[in-house]
Structure 1
Amino acid sequence: MALTKPNQQLRRDLKAIAFNLEHSCIDLVKLAEKLSDADAIALMGLVGTLYERADRLAGYAEEVSARQITRSKSN
Structure 2
Amino acid sequence: MSLNKPNQELRRDLLGIAADLKWTGVDLLQIAETLSLAGHESEAQSVLRMSMVLLNDEEKLQRVLHEVAMGRIVRERGE
Q: Deviations over 1:34-67 (max 9, x none)?
A: 2111111111111111111111111111100111
TM-score by length of 1: 0.90
- Counterpart of 2:58 in structure 1: which amino acid? A
- How many Å apart are 1:28 and its aligned residue? 0.8
CA RMSD in angstroms comes to 1.2
Give the match for residue 29 of structure 1: 29
TM-score by length of 2: 0.86
Rate the CA distance shift 1:44–1:9 in 2: closer, same or farther, 3 A: same
Maintained 8 Å contact 1:28/1:47: yes
- Counterpart of 1:59 in structure 2: which amino acid? R
**Percentage of identical aligned residues:** 35
Pair member with larger Rg: 2
- Among 26, 49, 56, the alignment partner of 1:52 is 56
Maintained 8 Å contact 1:11/1:65: yes
Unmatched runs of 5 consecutive residues or more in structure 1: none
CA distance in 1, matches of 2:48, 2:11: 28
Residue 43 (1) aligns with residue 47 (2): yes
